[in-house]
Amino acid sequence: MEPGSRSTILAIALALGVLFALPFAAGSLGNPAMTTLATRILIYAIAAASLNLVLGYGGLVSFGHAAFFGIGGYTVGILFHHHRFNEALFGLMLGTDQFLITLPAAILVSGLFAAAIGALALRTAGVQFIMITLAFAQMLFFLFVALKRYGGDDGLIIRRRNGLFDLNMRDDTTFYFVTLVFVVLFFALVWRIVNSRFGLVLGGIRQGERRMAAIGVSTYRYKLAAFVISGMGAGLAGALWANYARFVSPDMMHWTKSGELMVMVILGGAGTLLGPLFGSAALILLETVLAAYTERWQVFLGPILIVIILFFRGGLAGLVDLVKKRL
């Protein structure tokens, strides 16, 4: 997608229009569950867009991105836990239930984790990178399973959603719009990043890392920066999810969650701006539809996934491009 091309602007305007009108449509159709479904899609779209930054634009196949999603969620959960029981955290500060504090905290903490994991994992490439990111995510998963203080296996319940100004966050429509604001901001940020010099270098690294190194780019630093930004984005999504579900558990960082995020990116079209949004919508809708018919929906999802990978390259965004070319 070229920045500023007419079709891109049209697509974005269309997507925004639909997303804005959705809760009102849900209300008038008498189907309020649509709003919460859309909230889920939007939150996962942020997580998938973060992964897309490293995976689609940078060519780094991270199979452990759920770790940052979970870290973001747990930051909100732990801060709330300490706020509720009035306990000091690390003997220093009290917890909080204010959105404007918990959200930046979640982004910061997941960024720090991404910096540590990325610094190690990026010493390798290719298949080792895939295995290592997976293994680190699994390590954090076990850590949170073991933390009995924060619920361990059972997770942590967040009684109330975080407060934001005087908004009634309990209301699902309000929370949907809050999420939508973050989605718009985050996608705008991704657009800025991929069209900046930094983004161009990142694309160059994907296409030929040795060439980029040969012309004097310190590729490790660029990859690490992208990985950290991406981890922060996933942390933001995790923080939103913790508020949406009012619950965090180690399952948020289970390896299947990392797999789901990758599926969303590929389904929507890796390396495209809106691809993750399409992918998130497609996977969650598919899950919802299949789950309505059978509890064992994964037995269908697996083969569908394989067929898509084997026969439809470029994902939904690629399909859209293909249709556009035919017209």
Give yes or no for a contact between 58 and 205, defined as CB atoms under 8 angstroms apart: yes
Q: Which residues in 226-255 contact another protein (CB under 8 A)?
A: 255
Q: Is 218 in the site for another protein (CB under 8 A)?
A: no
Taking the C-alpha atoms of residue 112 and residue 103, their distance in angstroms, rounded to an integer, is: 14
**Encoded tokens for 102:** 């918990």
Q: Could you report how far apart the first and last alpha carbons of the chain are, in Å?
A: 17
Contact region with another protein (CB under 8 A), list: 67-75, 133-141, 185-193, 210-218: 133-141
Give yes or no for a contact between 113 and 234, defined as CB atoms under 8 angstroms apart: no
Taking the C-alpha atoms of residue 100 and residue 112, their distance in angstroms, rounded to an integer, is: 19
Binding residues for another protein, total number by CB under 8 A? 43
**Encoded tokens for 175:** 């929370």
Residue 161 DSSP label: P
Phi, psi of 57 (to 5 degrees): -85, -35
Q: Is 302 in the site for another protein (CB under 8 A)?
A: yes
Smallest separation, CB 246 to another protein (Å): 24
Q: Which is nearer to another protein, 25 or 116 (CB)?
A: 116
Taking the C-alpha atoms of residue 245 and residue 36, their distance in angstroms, rounded to an integer, is: 10
Q: Which is nearer to another protein, 88 or 306 (CB)?
A: 306
Q: Mask of contacts with another protein, 148-167, x by CB under 8 A?
A: xx--x---------------
Alpha helix locations (H) across the chain? 6-28, 33-52, 66-85, 99-121, 126-146, 172-194, 197-207, 209-214, 219-245, 255-268, 275-293, 298-311, 315-326
By CB under 8 A, name the one of 266, 274, 282, 320 that touches another protein.
Answer: 266
Smallest separation, CB 310 to another protein (Å): 5
By CB under 8 A, name the one of 10, 18, 93, 143 that touches another protein.
Answer: 143
Q: Mask of contacts with another protein, 46-85, x by CB under 8 A?
A: ---------x-----x-x----------------------
Q: Which is nearer to another protein, 82 or 246 (CB)?
A: 82
Contacting residues toward another protein, per CB under 8 A: 55, 61, 63, 120-121, 123-124, 126-128, 130-132, 134-136, 138-139, 142-143, 145-149, 152, 255, 259, 262-263, 266, 270, 296, 298-299, 301-306, 309-310
